[in-house]
Amino acid sequence: MEFDGRYVIKAPRKQVWQALNDTKVLQEAIPGCERIEWVSKTELEASISVNLGIMKPTFVGDLALTNVNPAERYTLSGRGRGGILGHAHGAADIILSDHTTGTFLTFKAAGGASGQIMRLGKAIVGTSAQKVIDRFFERFAKAMGAEIMLFDENE
């Protein structure tokens, strides 16, 4: 499954970068996040409760940052364990650049799941994941005190 998004955050790029690496901001922004903490300079651990409609599993996961270029980009990879429901995994490239009204953020991710989660069907999981991603960026901007909008190529 693949997901993407392009957003304009009305804040300077350095401020957006700092917020992307601030566990307090991330915990507020990630729907269902019960815990997120740095365990090294490039690794985080998190516990997230995900609403999949008929189920609400809690995933415990490990996140790693690679391809880090401060205030410009990184790749965030993760693997979550949901107990008897199976595993979820994914990687996302996050790229920041300047925009006339703030910071242009591009997000492109691919992921998947195994076990009982996939029995729910790709469509349900995919729809839920895209909604989680969209809510994340809305909540992220709010947590850092900035406005956000979907990027419109016609603006």
In which residue ranges of the chain is pLDDT below 50? 121, 123-124
Give the model's pLDDT for residue 110: 84
Q: Is 89 part of any domain?
A: yes
Give the model's pLDDT for residue 145: 94
Domain count, the chain: 1
Q: Is 101 part of any domain?
A: yes
Q: Is 110 part of any domain?
A: yes
Give the model's pLDDT for residue 150: 77
Q: Which residues of 4-38 are buried (b: 16+ CB within 10 A; e: fewer)?
A: ebebbbebebebbbebbeeeebbbebbeebeebee
pTM for the predicted model, two decimal places: 0.82
Give the model's pLDDT for residue 125: 53
Domain that holds residue 143: 2-150
Q: Is 155 part of any domain?
A: no
CATH of the domain at 9: 3.30.530.20
Q: What is the DSSP secondary structure assignment for residue 151, as one 8-state letter?
A: -
